[in-house]
C-alpha cells in the first residue's frame, strides 16, 4: 500500500534502538526524511547510516536527552518544520507503589508525559499552519491494563493519554491527526531489562522469565520492532485522516477485553 507520505519530514525521538528505530525504519521505507534522536551518539549514527543506506532518505541526527529542556531545544532547532512527530523516551524503572517519592513521580511525568506534550506544543502549531500533520505517541499497554511494578509508567502515560484525548479533537479539523500506540511486550532491550527484573525477583533464569511471559500472550510470542513500526507508519499515512485520538494496542492479545 502506498502510504502517500513520500517526501515528508519526520522527527522520531528515542530512535537509535527498539520501537523508535522500528518506526523510523518504516517511515524511511515509505520515503520519509528523518530527524532522529537518542542520547548515545554512536548507536544513533550507526542507525542513521543504516537507514540512509537502506532507504536513500535524508537523516539528520541529534544526540540529546529528549526529557530535558536543553535536549528538546537542541532537537527542535535541528528539526525545524516537520510534518510527522513520533514521541518516545525510555520508560520509568519498575518498583513498588509504596516506595516512590515525589521526585520519582516528577521524573516519570517529565519523561513520559510532559516531554511529549512539550514536543506537540512546539510542533503542532506549524503543522496546523501548513494544514497537514501526524503525531504518534509511543505510550504503553499499561494505559489499558496497569502493570503492578510499573506504577510510574501507568501514572505518567495515563496523564498523556488524557491530554491527547482532548487535544486530538481540537486539531483534527485543521489536518493534524494525533494518536497513541500502546506496546505490549516487544523484543527490545527494554523487554530484556523487564525480564531480568522478573528473573531476579523470582530466582529464575532470563529464558524462564521470558517463557513465562510468552505463555500469557495469545499470539505466543513477543512483538517485533518492525511490525510496531509498520503500525506507526500507517497512523502517519494519508489513510489515517479519520482515526482521531485513538489508543491502538499492539500486544498479541495479552489484554483480555472485548473493546
- Characterize the bridge pairing of strands 176-183 and 9-12: unpaired
Asked if 174 touches ligand NAP (CB under 6 A), the answer is no
Asked if 61 touches ligand NAP (CB under 6 A), the answer is no
Backbone φ, ψ for residue 205 (5° rounding): -75, 165
Query: Looking only at residues 91 through 130 of this chain, which bind ligand NAP when binding is defined by CB under 6 A?
Result: 91
What are the grid coordinates assigned to 209, written together?
522469565
Single out the residue of 58, 81, 189, 207 in contact with ligand NAP (rule: CB under 6 A): 189
Q: Which residue has the cell 536543553?
A: 70
What secondary structure letter does DSSP report for 111? I
Nearer to ligand NAP, 171 or 249 (CB): 249
Asked if 185 touches ligand NAP (CB under 6 A), the answer is yes
Q: Which stretch binds ligand NAP (CB under 6 A): 48-56, 86-94, 119-127, 239-247?
A: 86-94
Single out the residue of 4, 6, 7, 40 in contact with ligand NAP (rule: CB under 6 A): 40
Asked if 65 touches ligand NAP (CB under 6 A), the answer is yes
Q: Which residue has the cell 502515560?
A: 157
Single out the residue of 79, 155, 161, 188 in contact with ligand NAP (rule: CB under 6 A): 188
Nearer to ligand NAP, 14 or 168 (CB): 14
The answer to whether the beta carbons of residues 257 and 53 sit under 8 Å apart is no
Q: Which stretch binds ligand NAP (CB under 6 A): 36-44, 78-86, 118-126, 168-176?
A: 36-44
Please name the residue ranges forming H helices in the chain: 18-29, 41-55, 69-79, 102-109, 115-130, 151-171, 189-202, 206-214, 225-235
Nearest to 119, CA basis, from 95, 135, 98: 135
Work out how close the CB of 2 gets to ligand NAP at its nearest, in angstroms, rounded to a whole number: 27
CA–CA separation, 180 and 165 (whole Å)? 9
Nearer to ligand NAP, 192 or 201 (CB): 192
CA–CA separation, 42 and 158 (whole Å)? 33
Contact footprint for ligand NAP (CB under 6 A): 14-20, 37-40, 43, 65-67, 88-91, 138, 140-141, 183, 185-186, 188-191
Amino acid at each position: 500500500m502506498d502510504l502517500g507520505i513520500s517526501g515528508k519530514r519526520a522527527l522520531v525521538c528515542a530512535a537509535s534502538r527498539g520501537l523508535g528505530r522500528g518506526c523510523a525504519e518504516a517511515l524511511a521505507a515509505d520515503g520519509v526524511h528523518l530527524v532522529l534522536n537518542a542520547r548515545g551518539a554512536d548507536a544513533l549514527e550507526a542507525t542513521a547510516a543504516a537507514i540512509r543506506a537502506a532507504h536513500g532518505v535524508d537523516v539528520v541526527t541529534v544526540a540529546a536527552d529528549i526529557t530535558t529542556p536543553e535536549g528538546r531545544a537542541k532537537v527542535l532547532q535541528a528539526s525545524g518544520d516537520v510534518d510527522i512527530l513520533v514521541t518516545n523516551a525510555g520508560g520509568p524503572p519498575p518498583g513498588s507503589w509504596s516506595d516512590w517519592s515525589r521526585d520519582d513521580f516528577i521524573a516519570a511525568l517529565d519523561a513520559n508525559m510532559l516531554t511529549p506534550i512539550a514536543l506537540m506544543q512546539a510542533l503542532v502549531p506549524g503543522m496546523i499552519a501548513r494544514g497537514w500533520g501526524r503525531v504518534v505517541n509511543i505510550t504503553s499497554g499499561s494505559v489499558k491494563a496497569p502493570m503492578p511494578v510499573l506504577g510510574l509508567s501507568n501514572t505518567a502515560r495515563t496523564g498523556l493519554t488524557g491530554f491527547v484525548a482532548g487535544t486530538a479533537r481540537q486539531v483534527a479539523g485543521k489536518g493534524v491527526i494525533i494518536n497513541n500506540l500502546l506496546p505490549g511486550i516487544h523484543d527490545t532491550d527494554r523487554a530484556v531489562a523487564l525480564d531480568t527484573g522478573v528473573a531476579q525477583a523470582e530466582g529464575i533464569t532470563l529464558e524462564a522469565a521470558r517463557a513465562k511471559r510468552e505463555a500469557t500472550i495469545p499470539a505466543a510470542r513477543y512483538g517485533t520492532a518492525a511490525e510496531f513500526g509498520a503500525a506507526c507508519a500507517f497512523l502517519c499515512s494519508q489513510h489515517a485522516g479519520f482515526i482521531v485520538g485513538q489508543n491502538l494496542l499492539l500486544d498479541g492479545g495479552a489484554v483480555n477485553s472485548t473493546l
